[in-house]
Copies of this chain bind each other. A is one copy, B any other.
């Protein structure tokens, strides 16, 4: 789950670190490789909607995002080094790159659905919505998850369809 879409202190830190770290790593890597992938070329996607706009549109999204923000506060306060590095790498996985950010958010959605994690499903559905993904694209992604993951995915499908209904009306 991309964990840094809100401008919270932790995320500010992570983004700053990301930059700083990339700089340091770039120097170290320079001699070794020129054709490096995924490194300097990655960049933040442009969102069509803010989290706030999503929260105003969907009560389910609002409750989810509020709880997530509140709980992330504890994680932030704990200031655990490895957790922060993991959040950082997680954040980097969904940036614009060889594949568009929206494709990768939908991949995150499919992965979350087959692993049956409601929070993760909600998160990626919201992220995809914020990036301008259509409802038909969301449903088709969920269809891949349904066929790969089987009927055990159905209860999660039912719940995310309620979110889709609120987001896309």
Q: Give A residues with C-beta under 8 Å from B.
A: 1, 3, 13, 16-17, 20-21, 23-25, 27-29, 32-33, 35-39, 68, 71-72, 74-75, 77-83, 85-86, 89-90, 92-94, 97-99, 103-104, 106-108, 110-112, 114-117, 119-120, 134, 136-137, 139-141, 143-155, 157-159, 161-162, 164-165
Instruction: Output the least CB separation between A40 and chain B (Å).
Output: 9
User: Could you tell me if B25 and A20 are in contact, using CB atoms closer than 8 angstroms?
Assistant: yes
User: Could you tell me if B74 and A108 are in contact, using CB atoms closer than 8 angstroms?
Assistant: no
Give 8 closest A-B pairs by Cβ, nearest first: A150-B150, A98-B136, A119-B155, A71-B158, A38-B81, A24-B24, A39-B81, A74-B161
